């Protein structure tokens, strides 16, 4: 039997299509994906350009993307890049893991602003997300201020957290809360935001709940409450560049023999005083790449949010 070149090409194409469901992408961590694909748009960033994960952000992002870690609570200060980390991990779930995601902002208006200034700009500037968005830049049922439905079938919702109706009907794999402490503690008398929101992931094979916020009033702060419910409370320890002793940085005050200090009437002279041996540490001397996240409760620690070691390990 003779087979023409055209017939052979058609057969090869048919076999390729048939085998496509068996193709699996090479697994990547959230940090690997972000460093390879993520881009900071000028509309929502101080500096436009390719994303590079900072040393202290590595374990945070990898925990967010780690299927073995179901819940992540981040008590943060301002300007540590939480929203950017969160958006990068959402992109990772959309493109790399094909997971449906739902992100809550404190209000409907905040959710709309986030979708317009952060999400749409990110999709436009990240090629692998843009390739999944044939509707980009035009009106389409898959391109709204509450939903982005990608050509892969994956959906991303961004909703306000003040209305109980926004916590209904959606079935997703990942639910995120941006500035959790700014949410109402009881949403229209139906329960806390995390109680209602986390119901949306109960049917997922790999459920993930990510919460983050700057803390507010001690004792009533929602992110503090969420973190205290966990068996693990981790802090970022860095070694002193002079004595090598690890410590997490504390503000301190005039009476403490550690923390931030400066010469009288000269705030620009600020330095950090090591709590172990009183070493004077300037910011440029701290090497965060040698830092570790250590659990206050168990002593368990990690550098990358992927592998965790026992105390002393």
Positions marked catalytic: 179
Question: Is residue 195 within 8 Å of residue 183, measured between CB atoms?
Answer: no
Rounded to two decimals, what is the model's pTM?
A: 0.90
Low-confidence ranges of the chain (pLDDT < 50): none
User: Distance (Å, rounded) from C-alpha 92 to C-alpha 32?
Assistant: 10
Which domains does the chain possess?
30-230 (3.40.50.300), 235-302 (no CATH)
- Return the sign of the alpha-carbon dihedral for residues 217, 218, 224, 225: negative
User: Distance (Å, rounded) from C-alpha 170 to C-alpha 1?
Assistant: 56
Residue 182 CB partners (closer than 8 Å, separation 6+): 106, 213, 216
Element (H, E) at 273: strand 266-273
Question: pLDDT for 65-111, tens place per residue?
Answer: 999 999 999 999 988 999 999 999 999 999 999 999 999 999 999 99
Pull the structure tokens for residue 36: 């390879």
Question: Is residue 198 within 8 Å of residue 161, measured between CB atoms?
Answer: no
pLDDT at 1: 62
Question: pLDDT for 212-237, tens place per residue?
Answer: 999 999 888 999 999 999 999 999 99
């Amino acid at each position: 039997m003779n087979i023409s070149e055209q017939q052979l090409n058609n057969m090869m194409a048919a076999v390729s299509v048939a085998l496509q469901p068996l193709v699996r992408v090479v697994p990547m961590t959230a940090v690997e994906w972000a460093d390879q694909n993520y881009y900071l748009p000028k509309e929502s960033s101080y500096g436009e350009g390719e994303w590079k994960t900072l040393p202290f952000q590595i374990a945070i992002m990898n925990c967010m993307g780690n299927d073995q870690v179901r819940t992540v609570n981040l008590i943060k200060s301002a300007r540590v890049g939480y929203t950017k980390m969160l958006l990068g991990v959402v992109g990772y779930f959309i493109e790399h893991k094909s997971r449906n995601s739902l992100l809550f902002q404190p209000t409907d208006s905040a959710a709309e602003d986030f979708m317009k200034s952060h999400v749409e700009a990110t999709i436009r500037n990240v090629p692998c997300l843009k390739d999944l968005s044939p509707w980009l830049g035009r009106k389409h049922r898959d391109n709204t201020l509450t939903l982005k439905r990608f050509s892969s079938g994956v959906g991303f919702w961004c909703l306000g957290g003040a209305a109980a109706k926004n916590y209904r009907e959606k079935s997703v794999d990942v639910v995120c809360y941006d500035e959790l402490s700014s949410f109402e503690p009881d949403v229209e008398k139906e329960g806390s935001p995390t109680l209602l929101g986390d119901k949306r992931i109960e049917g997922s094979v790999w459920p993930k709940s990510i919460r983050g916020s700057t803390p507010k009033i001690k004792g009533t702060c929602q992110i503090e409450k969420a973190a205290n419910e966990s068996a693990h409370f981790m802090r970022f320890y860095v070694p002193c560049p002079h004595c090598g002793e690890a410590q997490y940085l504390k503000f301190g005050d005039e009476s403490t023999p550690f923390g931030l200090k400066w010469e009288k009437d000269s705030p620009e002279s600020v330095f950090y005083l090591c709590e172990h041996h009183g070493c004077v540490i300037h910011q440029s001397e701290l090497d965060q790449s040698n830092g570790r996240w250590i659990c206050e409760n168990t002593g368990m620690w990690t550098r990358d949010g992927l592998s965790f070691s026992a105390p002393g390990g």
